[in-house]
């Protein structure tokens, strides 16, 4: 029997595989697309896997990963905006 955190890892691994397959299918593989889609999937999986009434102990460790992901996402957005503006 898998624990909740093990299920989270397996589901996220499956999500990464689906993202890579879709990016390869549409011939648009780039690290920006891959990172953003993986971050979105990770956020959805974490929100759906946790209980609504109690905050589990593992959630505080996951929040660190989420904060780092949002920081990297912000850098990607700033880079794209600067490229569009030609700065």
pLDDT digits (tens, 9 = 90+) for 8-30: 889 999 999 999 999 999 999 99
Q: Which of 67, 65, 81, 85 has its CA nearest to residue 32?
A: 81
Q: What is the mean pLDDT of residues 49-68?
A: 82
Kind and range of the H or E run holding 19 = helix 4-25
Residue ranges making up the domain that contains 42: 4-85
For residue 51, name the pLDDT band (cuts at 50, 70, 90). confident
Query: Which tokens hold the place of 4?
Result: 């909740």
- Is pLDDT at 55 greater than 90 in this prediction? no
- Is pLDDT at 60 greater than 90 in this prediction? no
Count structural domains, the chain: 1
């Amino acid at each position: 029997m898998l624990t909740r955190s093990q299920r989270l890892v397996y589901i996220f691994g499956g999500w990464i595989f689906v993202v890579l397959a879709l990016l390869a299918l549409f011939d648009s593989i780039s690290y920006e697309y891959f990172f953003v889609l993986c971050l979105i999937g990770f956020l959805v999986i974490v929100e759906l896997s946790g209980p609504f009434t109690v905050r589990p102990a593992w959630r505080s460790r996951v929040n660190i990963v989420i904060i780092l992901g949002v920081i990297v996402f912000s850098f990607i957005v700033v880079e794209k905006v600067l490229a569009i503006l030609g700065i």
